[in-house]
Structure 1
Amino acid sequence: MQDYFIDLHIHLGRTASGKPVKITASDQLTMEAVLEEARYKKGLDMVGVIDCQVPEVLIGLRNRIASGELRELVDGGIRIGDITLILGTEVEIYDENCQGVIHALCYMKTVEKMMEFSNWLSKRMKNVTLSTQRVYAKAVDIQHVVHRLDGLFIPAHVFTPFKSLYGKGVKKSLSEVFEPELIDAIELGLSADTYMAERLKELDKYTFLSNSDAHSVGKIAREYQKVRMKQPSFEELRFALKEVDGRRVVANYGLSPQLGKYYTTVCEKCYIPLLKGKDICSSCDHTTFVKGVSDRIDELADIERPLRHRPPYLHQVPLDFIPGVGPKTLWKLRGVFGTEMGILHEASYDELVEVVGEKVASLIVAARSGKLTFKSGGGGRFGKVSDGATSLWGRREPQ
């Protein structure tokens, strides 16, 4: 067994020919850019690109496999050098059982399986060439198709206020919309962690995933997990999600939920946090709010103590959130330590001091141990990190 770093939710902004895929994603976010960033800068071992239903993407992958440039693994996944690509798609679900829109991630073992799924989707969505499109089918029918194709079905960023399972998708339980036994894992999202999600009894049976939902190259591996498997392949990933014979998620890494964009309930107009017990904004008297993930989980929680032991969720602040770590500093760090995994997991304080000085080194070490101070995010704005003199205020930016 070996441990691998994995991020399973990365978007494409453009195809190789320049056609748009994820409208809100960076134009620079092509398949080649994803693989280059993940391999050489982030230090990931496996990535899930969740816009692979796009026909041009699939044809390009199939041609590169035929030429020998890429290798499709017997156990599923595509090997490019020392990284494995998992083919996925994010779909938007709304049927008569949904209270609101739900996003879900569907992963396929091979290019041919994804082609078959893409053909099925093309008859039930308006534009299969774009990311995260509405599927005009029942939620359970989508689940059954995914499993008939031997794929994986995972509800995405399940607590965010918009387009998620618990945000507005259901009143109380996932069984209102989905067949629970056809869910393979749960993706938490940037504003939640294990310690929040394990307060829901019905989630006890599922492995939790922490993925970046990257809409730009730099956001890849903003959240990720360390997974123990025999090799980085689709089937080994499936076994790890089911915790078969020692395979498992060893640790989740991600933002402190307070840094996420939707942790706190805030005024829809001015983004000031709602005071407890109030129903009107203390700043502008507005009466409409974006409910925070923390408050939504308080509504749903039905157990006080977790029912089982889970891997640790390690709060990490992405390097570009840290005051003093701009593009030039990050370039210097990568020049010495190779990848961001090396900076975050391997570099000692003394080694960091030699490259960036005591102040920035102290902030990086504090970030990896969850000791930075920050102000909670909400309403679509990230939280801020502060070093006492410099701060990164909540920002609207590409995800």
Structure 2
Amino acid sequence: MHYWADLHVHSRYAMAASKEITPEQLVFWARRKGLTLIGTGDLTHPGWRDELRTKLEEAEEGLWRLKPSCELPPGSDLPMAPTVRFVLAGEVSTVYKKAGKTRKVHHLILLPHFEAAERLAGRLERYGNLHSDGRPTLGLDSRDLLAITLEVAPAAVLIPAHIWTPHYSVFGMKTGFNSLEECYGDLTAEIHAVETGLSSDPAMNRRLSILDDYALVSNSDAHSPAKLAREATRFETELSFSGLRRALRRPFPGLMGTVEFFPEEGKYHWDGHRACGVRWSPQQTMAAGERCPVCGRRVTVGVLHRVAVLADRAEEGQPPAARPAERLLSLSKIIAEAEQAGEGTKKVQRLYDRMLATHGPELSILREVPLEDLAETAGVRVAEGVRRVRLGLLKVTPGYDGVYGTVEIY
């Protein structure tokens, strides 16, 4: 079957995450977005695992569903809304010294059952506090985290998370490496897929031949339920943990493609210094010797710059692992710009609900529903906004040094 998945999300136990994140809310928003499979997030946190055990029940092999007694009313009719499943998943941060440098790398872990999650948490608690943050910080080498994960559950999947983020990723300019082998050592062959993150897209990553053998997956890294599916990955496989795992391993049967955040919107796409209001392209940064013209300190080097440093191609390569990718904006943002109103206003939310009730989940509306049908429901201006997003006819201002970029439709 074809389905959309968002495997990297967080619970309310994660730092800076919404307190509204519950299993019920995740399912509510997954159906509105058009997601069939979502990660539970934060599988190492004991309080979250307890809540998941209480509210979820077994479904297909290695997957879970919300108990009927816990489901929320849909809020509006949702034609063609998918049935939602969970896969046990969580992000782990490792901070350690290697080759004379402090390394900070984030990893997304997928597990086949709760027993594996319990065993993994038991092994990891000696390296850090699993209670204080849904995404724990561990004093553990990335290679050793992978080894422990596979010892606990040989069927587990570990995916390097948002691989270009300057401060917390395998290729990050501040604390990362120049290759996956430097990070995972003799276990590198156990890595099959990497997560591109919000500040990069597959076209940027395919400029590196060292990534030719890896699948590029996209997830929302959502810290609130409504942010689900801002990035997602499409699969065509049986709905099970085994099917998902096969699709994420070479030669990636059933991995169909991704939808992407505009990478320029990511808060580390360009270089710059937020405190001084300096926003630079990589070329400007290189010309200035990476020094802020206001305060003289080094600017934060962003994802586009870091990709350029490691790239060995001028343009995107098309290796066997390459899959199609589409850039999208959220439907509420399109409506808000069309109506010249805030995304959280009742006017925008009413129109959003009407469109979902008429045409189905958000991913379908953004990608497939004929524009003339959208115009009948939401007006010509909203339909024109969807058209411009589909064609990429937008004004984009890149994000930098922790400041999100902006995308203007009109």
- Using the size of structure 1 for normalisation, the TM-score is 0.87
Distance 1:198 1:380 in 2: 25
What CA deviation, in whole Å up to 9, does each residue of 1:192-228 have, x standing for no partner? 1111111222211111111100011111100001111
CA deviation after TM superposition for structure 1 residue 386, in Å:
2.0
CA deviation after TM superposition for structure 1 residue 359, in Å:
1.4
CA deviation after TM superposition for structure 1 residue 63, in Å:
4.1
Give unpaired runs (5+ residues) of structure 1. Answer: 14-20, 389-399
Corresponding residue for residue 79 of structure 1: 65
Corresponding residue for residue 153 of structure 1: 158
Letter of the 1:215 counterpart: H
Please state if 1:256 is matched with 2:269.
Answer: no
- For residues 1-399 of structure 1, what are the structure 2 equivalents within 5 Å? 2-13=1-12, 21-39=13-31, 41-64=32-55, 70-74=57-61, 76-80=62-66, 82-97=83-98, 99-128=102-131, 130-148=133-151, 149=153, 150-167=155-172, 168-178=174-184, 179-229=187-237, 231-243=238-250, 247-274=253-280, 275-276=284-285, 277-279=287-289, 280-281=291-292, 284-304=294-314, 306=317, 308-309=319-320, 310-322=322-334, 323-324=337-338, 326-388=348-410
SS at match of 2:171: helix
CA deviation after TM superposition for structure 1 residue 333, in Å:
1.7
What CA deviation, in whole Å up to 9, does each residue of 1:348-372 have, x standing for no partner? 1111111221112111121133222
CA deviation after TM superposition for structure 1 residue 61, in Å:
3.3
Distance 2:274 2:188 in 1: 33
Larger proportion of helix? 2
Distance 1:329 1:384 in 2: 23
Distance 1:93 1:286 in 2: 31
Corresponding residue for residue 79 of structure 2: none
Cα distance change of structure 1 residues 184 and 128 upon mapping to structure 2, 3 Å threshold: farther
User: Once superposed, which parts of structure 1, at least 4 consecutive aligned residues long, lie more than 6 Å away?
Assistant: none
The question of whether the paired residues in 2 share the 8 Å contact of 1:374 and 1:385 is answered with yes
CA deviation after TM superposition for structure 1 residue 64, in Å:
4.7
Cα distance change of structure 1 residues 59 and 202 upon mapping to structure 2, 3 Å threshold: same
Distance 2:274 2:235 in 1: 38
The question of whether the paired residues in 1 share the 8 Å contact of 2:166 and 2:175 is answered with no
SS at match of 1:221: coil
CA deviation after TM superposition for structure 1 residue 129, in Å:
5.4
Cα distance change of structure 1 residues 163 and 239 upon mapping to structure 2, 3 Å threshold: same
What CA deviation, in whole Å up to 9, does each residue of 1:289-320 have, x standing for no partner? 12111111001112345251411111111223
CA deviation after TM superposition for structure 1 residue 89, in Å:
1.7
Letter of the 1:6 counterpart: A
Distance 2:53 2:295 in 1: 57
What CA deviation, in whole Å up to 9, does each residue of 1:124-162 have, x standing for no partner? 212345222112222212101212212111110000112
CA deviation after TM superposition for structure 1 residue 286, in Å:
4.5
SS at match of 1:296: helix
Corresponding residue for residue 395 of structure 1: none
The question of whether the paired residues in 2 share the 8 Å contact of 1:47 and 1:86 is answered with yes
Distance 2:233 2:387 in 1: 19
Distance 1:117 1:73 in 2: 22
The question of whether the paired residues in 2 share the 8 Å contact of 1:52 and 1:87 is answered with yes
Q: After alignment, is 250-259 or 369-378 more displaced?
A: 369-378
Distance 2:177 2:5 in 1: 32
What CA deviation, in whole Å up to 9, does each residue of 1:12-40 have, x standing for no partner? 11xxxxxxx1120111111221122112x
Letter of the 1:384 counterpart: T
The question of whether the paired residues in 2 share the 8 Å contact of 1:144 and 1:182 is answered with no
What CA deviation, in whole Å up to 9, does each residue of 1:139-192 have, x standing for no partner? 212101212212111110000112111113334122112131121310000111
Identity %: 28
Letter of the 1:269 counterpart: A
The question of whether the paired residues in 2 share the 8 Å contact of 1:50 and 1:105 is answered with no
SS at match of 1:119: helix
Q: After alignment, is 330-339 or 267-276 more displaced?
A: 267-276
Q: After alignment, is 54-63 or 135-144 more displaced?
A: 54-63
SS at match of 1:90: strand
Letter of the 2:17 counterpart: A
RMSD between superposed Cα atoms in Å: 2.1
